[in-house]
Structures are given as C-alpha cells and as structure tokens.
Amino acid sequence: MVTDVENWKSEVYGNEIRDRLFEFAEAGFDSIPDDERDAWFERFKWWGLYHQRNGQEGYFMMRIGTPNGVLEPGQLRVVGEIADEYARGPGTNPIFGDAYADFTTRQSIQLHWIELSDVPAIFEKLEEHDLSTQQACGDSWRNIVGNPVAGKDGQEVIDAWPVIRELNETFKGNDDHANLPRKWKVSVTGSADGSGQGDINDLAFEPAYKTAGGDGAPRGSEAGDAVGFNVRVGGGLARNEPRLARDIDVWVPPERVPDVAGGLSALFRDHGDREDRYNARVKFLVDEWGAAEVRETLQEEYVDFELQTAGRDVREEYTYNAGEGERNDLIGVHDQKDGRNFVGLNVLVGRMGADDVLELADLAAEYGSGEVRLSQRQNVIVTDVPDDALDEFLDEPLLEHYSPDPSPFMRGSVACTGTEFCSLSIVETKNRQVRFARWLKANVELPDDVDEFHVHLSGCTASCAQPQIADVSLRGMKTRKDGDPVEALDVGLGGGLGEDPQFARWVTQRVPVDEVPGAIANLVERFAAERDAGESFRAFVARHDDDELDAFVDPKETDYEDPMMHNTKRTWYPYAEDDGMEDAPSPPADD
C-alpha cells in the first residue's frame, strides 16, 4: 500500500503546485483547508517551502537552490535584500539578530520566517535574477553539488560547471523526473580534492581518466587519456544508516553525463520503494540489488549506448574533509587557473546576517567580479580577486568576522538548523555550536602543526550537518542530569572522506551539553600528549579502540555554561523571553 505522501503526490505534484501555492498566497494562509494542510505542506516542499515547527504556525523556511553553490554577480545582493525584507519573524536570535541567511551543507541558502503571502513577490524577485527555489526540497532532483570553484580551480582535472549547469537545466522542472520515491542528491566533481563529497550522495560523478583504446589498453599518460567521470550510486548519511556511494564500474564522458544521470534517476523512479519512506532512498535499493545489478539494469533498460567500465580515478589525491593533508576545506586564498584568486571566508555555522550578506555582495563586486560561491562546509568564497586587489580586500573590516584565516575551532564548525526551527531535531544546534567554538578557541590549544579540526553538530539522525564525516561528531540526544531531563550529545570520532572514507565511531553516548566542551578539551589534551610526531587526529583515532577513545573523551563541567539545557522543543522559540507554547504567536496576518 502506498503512503499518504505518495497519494498526495499522485494527485498534484511538481510544477503544477505553483499555481495553487500562489492562490493560497493570494487568499491567505487560512485559506488552506484544515484537512488539506498536511498534503499542501508536503507539496510546497517541491517549491522549496518547508512549514516551520509547531509554535511557528504560518511561517515557512524557504530554500533557494544554487547549483554548485554558484551565485553569479548580483545574485548574493538579491538574497541579502530578500532576507532583509522578508526573513523577519516574531523571534529574535540572540546571536544573529532578526534577519539572516543560512548557507547549507548542500551549497544552498535557507531563509526563515517567510510568510506565505510574500511568496509570489519573493519568487518574482528571485526569478528576475535567475534564482529559484524549485525542487530545493521534496522528492526530486535536489540542488546539485560539487567543487564550488569549478571552472576556476587551479587544481581542476575537468571543468564540471558546464555539466552541472546542463543537469540543472535538464532535470529541474522535468516532469519525467519530478516525482521520485524520495529525494535525489547528485554530486558532480571535477577537481582532484574531493570537494564535491560524492561519497555521501545518491549519485556521484567523480573525475577519472579513461585510456584511449579501450579497457584492455595499457594505461597511458594523463595527457593522452580522455577525461570524464566515474559513477557511484547510493551514498547518504541519514537515519543511522550511513552509506558510502557504491562504485558501479561506469566511466562516462562529459557529454554523456545527462544520459547516465537521467537513466539512474529513472531507474530510481521506477524501482525505488514507494510503500515505505524509510526504505525509499536509493541507498537501500543498492543494498538490495548490489552495484552489479544497478549497472546491468541501467545498461539494459535506461541507456541506449554501451556503458564503459570505470576509468582511473584520482581518489588518492582527495583531501577535502579528509582529516589530513592540504585543503581540508576551501578557506583562505587560493590560485585560480586564470591567475586571479579565490578567497574562502569562514561563516561560522553557515549563518550570516542580512546586513553582512549585503556588504559582502558589495565587496565581491568591488574586489572581484561580483560572483560568490558556497561550499559544503557552509562557507562562502569570493572569486576572481586579482593579485593587486588582494591585500586591500583582506584588510576589509568584514573579514575580521568572516575570516580567511580563522581559529581551527571556528573554521571547523558545522551545524544544522536545530530546534530553533526544525521539527526533527532533538537539541538546539547553531547557537550552541557558536558557543562551543568560542569556548574552545579561548580555552583549548591544538598542537602547532594542526590547523584544522572539524566539529559537526547535528540535531538528530537526519545528519544535515554531516556529523559522520568530522573529526568530532556531535549528534542530538537526551539524558538525565541530577534526575532532570537535559539536552545531550552523542560523541563520535575519526570520521572523514578522502581516498578511504570512513564514518565516525560513536564512542561516548549522551553527554550533557554543558559537559561537551570539557570533553573535547580533554580529548584534545590526550591527543596532543600521546600522538605520534606529525600524526593527524583522524590517524590518532584510527589506532585506538572505542573504549580507549571513550576514556579520552571524559566529559566534565567547566566554566562553559549552556543556557539551553532544557527541552527547547517545548518552546515556541527557544530564545523568546516568554517561550512557552501558550505564548506562541498567531499565524501572520495576511497583507
């Protein structure tokens, strides 16, 4: 028996939702019939609108999908203006204020407190500037990710940006691929650093060389080889069921990527589980079938040309989020292939106030081309800065806060939305990770040669902060402290991508949130004292068993105080002075 969600989707889904969305916006939030709200809220996701949690009735999160995180000149200003004008609600965040934009781990942008009546005006402004919320959420092709500096990166094997653009144009608004069993996350990477994080996506295209003359030919020089992509399928982190994408032994030249991607998307559409949403992601289909059957079915039923076997990849060069080596992230000044520079700026937990967004947009236009790009570590990259403008740009006051050379604890922080707005989360996240990072920066010394230390805080097992691929993974939990329920975190260690990706091992469970900074301090102290010379944290973790690591974590109270120990989910907004559900605001009046 198919689910209610599938029934709703079979009635109205995809592009056609838009007309009804606009009708509701025109008539007002209350015009959505009570007995249709569940259905319409589910459908609105396809257009990037997610109804916020209870206590925030009538307000929406809006996600803008920016393929590969690319914001062309002028687009960041549009985002800042929309955030400033529309992303304001009854709750004020004590750290970030009243209007802000969140840069996500999938190179998208999220705005909060959006009112339904404002959606048509926002869509009009976005679309005037070639931005869109289409398929940013819902069961279809999501925002395509990759190395954000595709086409500019000095370390590039192949320029993936034209491929991503073509995929975006082909599969956004495409009725044949609009209604999939579940979300469909695609990564296309052309650089040798692994910054597209293909391993944790439903479908990954990774750079690879194919020797001319066929599979049996000896490996030639790179100069004589064709450059394209190897294909992996079925990665993902959610629901305590993390999977690395599986190699299906296919190499594809750039011009064939849409055929293979469309074939696999159609395979998922036709064979994914529509009766159980927990079992619907393609990772479970790959579990059931195995990579060989996926390849065989793709070949026999979904493409009309002979698939080539996998080529020679460059995975041994991957460093992004790998826990060691150069370029664990894209922060700092880096060479572009055209001689100019891209400058990665740290945005702590990915959240930037609207005023700062607007100022950054102006700086990008003044010192670069106006273009800005977003990374999967929730950071922002200003591209096209010439050498002679670099020093002046780096001296801008805004970069004191959004630094190209931040503390490892600020630089390594990633956090999801958390209970501030999200229904699924068990704990407060973004503000907490800011507090953690500030305390760690002030109180904890890493060894001199360690300049990156990734701490990812996810509010639940949905894993939006990608906790399993961090040095220190934190995941929302509950525990009792002195008999009272308090917010807590499970602690995992040693995850990372790279040539041999691995997920964090969850070594310590249910640490009360006020003892987490002390636990990390103890852990770092043991690492500093007992590491081998030059040893990375990830390697240090790898050579210890879980019991040893659990002992290293050693939670303790410190002078860190956590103001959000209580059940933040029982508030209408955790930071409100009167935060009880009985004080929740009414749905916004339509105007």
* Contacting range for another protein; rule: CB under 8 A; set: 153-161, 316-324, 358-366, 460-468: 460-468
* Contacting range for another protein; rule: CB under 8 A; set: 32-40, 152-160, 205-213, 442-450: 32-40
Residue 111, Cβ density class (10 Å: 0-12 exposed, 13-18 middle, ≥19 buried)? buried
Residues that contact another protein, how many (by CB under 8 A): 37
Please tell me whether residue 502 binds another protein under the rule CB under 8 A. no
3-state secondary structure of 317: helix
Contacts of 113 (CB under 8 A, 6+ apart): 52, 56, 59, 86, 87, 88, 89, 90, 91
Please tell me whether residue 461 binds another protein under the rule CB under 8 A. yes
Strands 372-374 and 70-71: antiparallel
By beta-carbon proximity to another protein, the closer residue of 240 and 309 is 240
CA distance 23 to 19: 6
Please tell me whether residue 480 binds another protein under the rule CB under 8 A. yes
* Contacting range for another protein; rule: CB under 8 A; set: 79-87, 143-151, 271-279, 367-375: 271-279
By beta-carbon proximity to another protein, the closer residue of 244 and 427 is 427
* Contacting range for another protein; rule: CB under 8 A; set: 37-45, 161-169, 358-366, 582-590: 37-45
- Least separation in angstroms between residue 280's CB and another protein is 8
- Least separation in angstroms between residue 457's CB and another protein is 15
* Contacting range for another protein; rule: CB under 8 A; set: 83-91, 366-374, 417-425, 555-563: 417-425
Instruction: Among 478, 531, 556, 566, indicate the residue that binds another protein (CB under 8 A).
Output: 478
Of 297, 285, 389, nearest to 339 by C-alpha is 389
* Contacting range for another protein; rule: CB under 8 A; set: 192-200, 305-313, 393-401, 423-431: 423-431
Please tell me whether residue 12 binds another protein under the rule CB under 8 A. no
Instruction: Among 19, 278, 534, 578, indicate the residue that binds another protein (CB under 8 A).
Output: 278
Instruction: Among 10, 30, 31, 37, indicate the residue that binds another protein (CB under 8 A).
Output: 37
Please tell me whether residue 104 binds another protein under the rule CB under 8 A. no
Instruction: Among 224, 485, 534, 563, indicate the residue that binds another protein (CB under 8 A).
Output: 485
Angle, helices 430-443 vs 516-530, to 10°: value is: 40
- Least separation in angstroms between residue 24's CB and another protein is 15
Of 527, 519, 559, 529, nearest to 544 by C-alpha is 527
Please check whether residue 167 is in contact with residue 470, taking contact to mean a CB–CB distance below 8 angstroms: no
- Six-digit token pair at 311? 């080529």
By beta-carbon proximity to another protein, the closer residue of 468 and 536 is 468
Please tell me whether residue 543 binds another protein under the rule CB under 8 A. no
CA distance 510 to 475: 9
CA distance 427 to 567: 8
Please tell me whether residue 30 binds another protein under the rule CB under 8 A. no
- Least separation in angstroms between residue 469's CB and another protein is 21
* Contacting range for another protein; rule: CB under 8 A; set: 9-17, 124-132, 303-311, 418-426: 418-426
Q: Where are the alpha helices (DSSP H) in 368-479?
A: 387-394, 398-401, 408-411, 430-443
Instruction: Among 13, 42, 160, 285, indicate the residue that binds another protein (CB under 8 A).
Output: 42
The amino acid at 43: R
Report the sign of the C-alpha dihedral through residues 541, 542, 544, 545, in that order: positive
Phi, psi of 471 (to 5 degrees): -65, -50
Q: Which of residues 43-62 bind another protein (CB under 8 A)?
A: 53-54
Please tell me whether residue 122 binds another protein under the rule CB under 8 A. no
Per-residue contact string for residues 351-390; x = within reach of another protein by CB under 8 A: ----------------------------------------
Of 479, 496, 495, nearest to 555 by C-alpha is 479
Phi, psi of 186 (to 5 degrees): -120, 140
Q: Which residue has the tokens 């240090």?
A: 540
Of 160, 144, 98, 532, nearest to 355 by C-alpha is 98
- Least separation in angstroms between residue 363's CB and another protein is 38
Q: Which of residues 226-265 bind another protein (CB under 8 A)?
A: 239-240
The amino acid at 288: E
CA distance 167 to 254: 11
Phi, psi of 243 (to 5 degrees): -135, 145
Strands 351-353 and 413-415: unpaired
Please check whether residue 83 is in contact with residue 99, taking contact to mean a CB–CB distance below 8 angstroms: yes
Please tell me whether residue 567 binds another protein under the rule CB under 8 A. yes
3-state secondary structure of 121: helix
- Least separation in angstroms between residue 248's CB and another protein is 27
Please tell me whether residue 38 binds another protein under the rule CB under 8 A. yes
Return residues touching another protein (CB under 8 A).
Answer: 1, 3-5, 34-38, 42, 53-54, 239-240, 276-278, 419, 423-427, 460-462, 476-480, 485, 488, 509-510, 567, 569
